[in-house]
Amino acid sequence: MDQLIEKIKQYKEEIDAAVIDGAASLEEYRIKFLGTKGILKGLFGEMKSVANENKKEFGQILNDFKQHAEAKYEQFKELTSVNGDSATSSLDLTLPGDDIPVGTHHPISIVRNEIVSIFQRLGFAIAEGPEIEDDMHNFTALNLPENHPARDMQDTFYISQNPDWLLRTHTSSVQVREMEKGKLPIRIICPGRVYRNETISARAHCFFQQVEGLYIDENVSFADLKQTLYFFVQEMFGKNVKVRFRPSYFPFTEPSAEMDISCLICGGKGCNVCKHTGWVEILGCGMVHPKVLENCGIDSNKYTGFAFGMGIERITMLKYQIKDLRLFSENDVRFLKQFTSAT
């Protein structure tokens, strides 16, 4: 048996050293080692001459050798066919290549990138934060009182293991985190996904994307807010679009306003999109409430600031005249492939 094992060792070395450079030498290899009268067959024939107590060990060695010989054959078979040996090639290199499908940006991403880049040109930096937040950063710091309806289970998703944790309902929580750092001035834009416990319909969803902005420095005024947002609208929707500010209420800003633009669809004449008013609401804004500044450790006698927030889905629906919010999260490629963008 020792002699046989020595023989197998030599064959193994021979296999490792064998040069296979085409269909002919591959076939030669096959006949020599794997053929019906080949070396493997012969070695299996020797099994009967091995003593019973050694049969198991020898069988193991022989099987390993068989696998080794076959593996080399398979490996070179593949190589020879790919390399295009004329006798066996299965690959026609003159055929045209397969199409590689190219993806497109999601319409929400296109619009989000556009919004962010306009504010970046005004010197706003991107800030991001966690989607799972605590009550303090999402509500308390923003002057939302203990009994405010937004805190209700009906409106907010709480984490069941720890009811102090929740899915952020706006990206204001990111801005609170930036203010806490205490480095002023602050000029940031916060894009991101937010969550609300809404019944899903054509006009509402339980998750959507938002862009919020915050500018805090000495002597920041409501005029700065209006000019900044006016620039944004002109860049986003064109020079002919008109804007108006309506007084509004948010717990975290004072005074607060909502901004409308003249209807893109009818140009202000009145249609279904603007409900025959000629105007459509695109964002909410205001001067940061002094209580919010103080909650975040900023001296409200020295600093003032403005903030604004908009839903990206809403802007995207206006821009592309999309009538159902659910299309954004269904990932139907027939919908998605209609959008293209350089960014």
For the bound state, the minimum distance from the C-beta of residue 333 to ligand 2NL, rounded and expressed in Å, comes to 29
The residue type at 30: R
When asked if residue 144 is in the footprint of ligand 2NL (CB under 6 A), the reply is no
For the bound state, the minimum distance from the C-beta of residue 289 to ligand 2NL, rounded and expressed in Å, comes to 7
Binding site, annotated residues for Mg(2+)? 254
Among 188, 220, 282, 285, binds ligand 2NL (CB under 6 A): 285
Tokens 């209609």 appear where?
Answer: 338
Among 15, 69, 110, 176, binds ligand 2NL (CB under 6 A): 176
For the bound state, the minimum distance from the C-beta of residue 267 to ligand 2NL, rounded and expressed in Å, comes to 24
When asked if residue 284 is in the footprint of ligand 2NL (CB under 6 A), the reply is yes
Within 192-251, which residues bind ligand 2NL (CB under 6 A)?
A: 210, 212, 214, 250
For the bound state, the minimum distance from the C-beta of residue 104 to ligand 2NL, rounded and expressed in Å, comes to 26
Nearer to ligand 2NL, 28 or 224 (CB): 224
Rounded-to-integer distance, Cα 329 and Cα 61, Å: 58
Among 186, 261, 307, 325, binds ligand 2NL (CB under 6 A): 307
Which residues lie below 8 Å from residue 39, measured CB to CB, with a gap of 6+?
11, 32, 33
Q: Are 247 and 182 in contact (CB under 8 A)?
A: no
Q: Where are the alpha helices (DSSP H) in the chain?
A: 2-17, 23-29, 39-45, 52-83, 107-121, 135-138, 172-180, 222-237, 290-295, 312-320, 327-330, 333-336
When asked if residue 311 is in the footprint of ligand 2NL (CB under 6 A), the reply is yes
When asked if residue 69 is in the footprint of ligand 2NL (CB under 6 A), the reply is no
Rounded-to-integer distance, Cα 261 and Cα 267, Å: 10
CB atoms within 10 A of CB 26: 22
Nearer to ligand 2NL, 191 or 311 (CB): 311
For the bound state, the minimum distance from the C-beta of residue 284 to ligand 2NL, rounded and expressed in Å, comes to 3
Rounded-to-integer distance, Cα 51 and Cα 1, Å: 8
When asked if residue 308 is in the footprint of ligand 2NL (CB under 6 A), the reply is yes
When asked if residue 263 is in the footprint of ligand 2NL (CB under 6 A), the reply is no
With 0-12 / 13-18 / 19 or more C-beta atoms within 10 angstroms meaning exposed / middle / buried, residue 210 is: buried
Nearer to ligand 2NL, 214 or 280 (CB): 214
Rounded-to-integer distance, Cα 208 and Cα 213, Å: 17
Nearer to ligand 2NL, 13 or 128 (CB): 128
- Angle at CA 217, nearest 5°, toward 211 and 223? 70
For the bound state, the minimum distance from the C-beta of residue 207 to ligand 2NL, rounded and expressed in Å, comes to 13
Nearer to ligand 2NL, 33 or 232 (CB): 232
Name residue 212's beta-bridge partners: 190, 309
Among 80, 138, 209, 253, binds ligand 2NL (CB under 6 A): 253
Rounded-to-integer distance, Cα 269 and Cα 186, Å: 40
Nearer to ligand 2NL, 80 or 172 (CB): 172
Query: What residues line the site for ligand 2NL (CB under 6 A)?
Result: 172, 175-176, 210, 212, 214, 250, 252-253, 284-286, 288, 292, 307-311
